[in-house]
Structure 1
């Protein structure tokens, strides 16, 4: 049974997609063992509670230094003991020590087709604003392993979504969520739970 910890900052729509997929059986051999947010007002925490999943808030704002937060955060993660950590809209930089400790066991969902519109400063609506400003015809989402860079880890899955005439950043964001994010994030977790994902020479192989 794959023990999954989900890290969230906001509404938790990707968390909900994961919970639903576990309930429906499209994610197999998996248990959501915890949810951690850096935002005590995140609706994702309510989603977790309503689903009977242990949840808590650990915020950098509650600590004098980032080092203190990192230590507390890593201790909380270690206490849960996850096999896989899923960043589902988590807007806090993951400590390097944690990335090293959980190498190729942390995955992130990014709302673009990496390497387009990714890296420092590209998150949330900013991604879709940039895509529309550039005039691209196809956008999408990427699930990737987390490494020390920003959106630079090995890519697991990608799904394309067409840009439509009259799209606003908000409309495009919603379509990317519905058509890509909520599909490939559960799919990636299921592949990992089934032991089908390996990383070789910095690239993901799916058996």
Structure 2
């Protein structure tokens, strides 16, 4: 049995990116890692239903003792890679340093455009339309202490149309960028982790 990297996906809302990862796992696009756990800071997140339907264990954590509890859960499940898929809480600096190059985030723009503090969800697409950009997209990156400041893993561009609303643009970026590069990025990082373990 080949080694698979144990993955935890952190979610706060609908879980469309979680679904993209689950689908990629079924199609073996994601084959070097396995989603072992879903964690949410929102007990009403629809993403938890997606986890349940796919027999993936899930945990709900609140703001109280957030960092300690999160670390505890991850360690008890022997998690090796953390994927932020629409997770709205900012992870503490100490936590990020502890899991250096082991946390991936997906951001709905081509970083360094429309990123950093205050840029998340639909706000990113509203800002892109306001600026009048002709090309936008999505970026996967490692998480460090700077919001959206970590090393870029992959990017994919998406065209902006003249009649776009923020909602239309958000849907296109998800479908033609986020759902494609997130599974590929997770697979790439899992491959790298396995390679490093072999070298050791």
Contact 2:82–2:104 (CA under 8 A) maintained in structure 1: yes
Paired positions, count: 192
> Could you say which residue in structure 2 is the equivalent of 1:57?
60
Alignment of 1:61-100 (within 5 A): 63=64, 68-100=65-97
Mapped pair 1:29 → 2:26 = no
Unaligned runs of 5+ in 1: 199-207
CA shift, 1:193, in A, is 2.0
Alignment of 1:34-183 (within 5 A): 34-60=37-63, 63=64, 68-183=65-180
TM-score using structure 1 length: 0.90
Contact 1:191–1:197 (CA under 8 A) maintained in structure 2: no
CA shift, 1:69, in A, is 2.2
CA spacing shift, 1:197–1:141, aligned 2, 3 Å: farther
Cα separation, 1, equivalents of 2:89 and 2:75:
17
CA spacing shift, 1:196–1:140, aligned 2, 3 Å: farther
Unaligned runs of 5+ in 2: 196-200
Cα separation, 2, equivalents of 1:41 and 1:143:
26
> Could you say which residue in structure 2 is the equivalent of 1:16?
19
CA shift, 1:27, in A, is 1.0
Cα separation, 2, equivalents of 1:75 and 1:18:
24
> Structure 1 stretches (4+) deviating beyond 6 angstroms?
none
